[in-house]
Amino acid sequence: MIQGHSYERLLEISKRVNWRVEDIIGPDKPMDFSKPFLPETFARTGELDFLSPAERLKLNQIRGFGYLAMFELVERCILPAIEEHVPSRPGQDPHRTAALQNFAHEEAKHIELFVRFRKAFTDGFDVACGVIGPAEDIGAAIRGHGKLGVALFVLAIEWATQQHWLESVQDDEGLDPQIKSLLRHHWMEESQHAKLDALVFYELAEKAGPDGVMQAVEEFLRIGAFIDGGLAQQAELDLDAFERATGRRLTGGQRAQFIASQHQAQRWTFLGSALVNQGFLKALGEISPAGRARLEEVAPAFC
Ligand SMILES: [Fe+2]
Ligand SMILES: [Fe+2]
């Protein structure tokens, strides 16, 4: 047991929480396209003062679609990384394998959840929105890094989903109720994932030693830089979708402002919100205060 968490207890909580995709999204639960899909802290459409309120709403919804696509992509990347850790060695916690198997099962369910929401969006929105990919290639490139760096990346994502619900979405009364429901249900299961992934991270970190952990922190930052390149491309795709959805062609200066502001908004959504999360920093800091300090040093660039 580490940090007061045990595989047995986390598995028990997961079994209690366990929800079904069909209870969250379906024909009787449509998305409301008169409402924003992301909180302003993520969408940051207010920074683009040349947009009308209706255009800001369109951009917000395009960013909502990007959020669904990015999480589907990340979950597809995470699933094989979790599955790799499922087998336990003799002498390890007797509940370890069952808890990690359940963790992987939940991530597979989350992929289905994001796929269903993407379809609901596509069915109701004016134009097709582009997403970076292929997801398999991006996932393989991320998993091509060292195991400990990848485990740290997974841990960051698990904590980011909690940060998203608790800090940005929970109290936002203007959002589409369906999107709020998605983020709430995702958070309910990710709460256990963050603790399970910390247990796996600690196992690997103990073997790697302090220098190995610092190397993993640098690998994690390389994964972050790789994703950041993808987010810059995503901002271009969002601009294209925005112009098609609104029929408005932005000027050169407006396009540059759009890309710079939206790229930074995506950085915060997917990277910065993890880097400042106290749960994530605490989990890393307990094993490597120097690693935590390194992440705190780079975090402002992603906020
Ligand atoms: Fe998930
Ligand atoms: Fe997860």
> Residue 278's domain is classified under what CATH number?
1.10.620
CA of 72 to the centre of ligand 1 (A): 9
Residue 260 corresponds to which tokens in the numbers above? Answer: 């710079």
Position 102 in a domain: yes
Residue 43: inside a domain:
no
Q: What DSSP string runs through 9-43?
A: HHHHHHHHH---GGGTSBTTB---TTS-SS-HHHH
Can you tell me the distance from the alpha carbon of 40 to that of 56, in angstroms, rounded to the nearest whole number?
Answer: 10
* 31 within domain boundaries: no
Residue 298 tokens read as 């780079």
What length is written for the chain?
303
Tens of pLDDT along the chain (303 residues)? 455 689 999 999 999 999 999 999 998 999 999 999 999 999 999 999 999 999 999 999 999 999 999 999 999 999 999 999 999 999 999 999 999 999 999 999 999 999 999 999 999 999 999 999 999 999 999 999 999 999 999 999 999 999 999 999 999 999 999 999 999 999 999 999 999 999 999 999 999 999 999 999 999 999 999 999 999 999 999 999 999 999 999 999 999 999 999 999 999 999 999 999 999 999 999 999 999 999 999 999 999
Within-domain flag for 20? no
Cα of 60 to ligand 2 centre, how many Å? 25
> What is the 11 CA–ligand 2 centroid distance (Å)?
14
CA distance 244 to 240: 6
Residue 40 lies inside a defined structural domain of this protein: no
The DSSP H or E segment spanning 192 is helix 177-246
Of the bound ligands, which one is closest to the alpha carbon of residue 100? Answer: 2
Report which bound ligand comes closest to the CA of 72.
Answer: 1
Residue in the block written with tokens 């759009």: 258
Task: Give residue 191 CA to ligand 2 midpoint distance, Å.
Answer: 8
Residue 241 · residue 250 · CB < 8 Å: no
Sign of CA dihedral 90, 159, 303, 223: positive
Number of structural domains the chain divides into:
1
Q: How far is the CA of 253 from the centre of ligand 2 (A)?
A: 39
How remote is the CA of residue 256 from the centroid of ligand 2, in Å?
35
CA of 243 to the centre of ligand 1 (A): 31
Is residue 41, in this structure, part of any structural domain at all? no
φ/ψ of residue 51, rounded to 5:
-95, 145
Ligand 1 center to residue 205 CA distance, Å?
A: 23
Q: What is the residue range of 133's domain?
A: 50-302
Q: Which ligand is nearest to the CA of 113?
A: 1
Ligand 2 centroid to 270 CA: how many Å?
Answer: 14
Sign of CA dihedral 269, 275, 280, 282: negative
CA separation for the pair 240, 127 (Å, rounded): 10
Does a structural domain hold residue 16? no
Residue 131 counted as domain residue: yes
- Ion ligand 2: residues, CB within 5 A, are 158, 190, 193
Cα of 73 vs centre of ligand 2, distance in Å, is: 12
